[in-house]
Amino acid sequence: MEQQNGDIKKELHGDKKYLLRLYITGSAPRSLIAVNNITQICKNHLVDYELQIIDVYQKPNLAKEDQIIAIPTLVKVLPLPERRIIGDLSDVEKVLYSVELL
């Protein structure tokens, strides 16, 4: 299959510590809430981070590579190990735990 979007680089731009990737479907309600929540969490708790928001409608291939099953899914790509959280990310503690900040 053609991979227009190329492989997802598991590398950080510059020397940032965190690479987070949130998969959404357009502005579906839980996707919308998830975007809102993750931007808040990043702003309040992270310093060195890169947040990628990926709309699977626009880039379906990326979802395949990351083996995404349900939307919204947040993938903590870096630092390893990789972690993923499903849902609208309204449980801040849980998100922070998975991102290993707690």
Q: Please report how close the Cβ of residue 53 comes to another protein at its closest, in angstroms.
A: 14
Residue placing its CB nearer to another protein in the complex, 16 or 92: 92
Of 5-13, 14-22, 28-36, 46-54, the window that binds another protein (rule: CB under 8 A) is 28-36
From 91, 102, 82, select the one nearest 33 (Cα to Cα): 91
Phi-psi region of 59 (alpha: psi -120 to 50; beta: other; left: phi over 0): beta
Cα–Cα distance, 100 to 83 (Å, whole number) = 9
End-to-end CA distance of the chain: 40
14 binds another protein (CB under 8 A): no
64 binds another protein (CB under 8 A): yes
Binding site for another protein (CB under 8 A): 1, 24-32, 56-57, 60-61, 63-64, 68-72, 81, 83-88
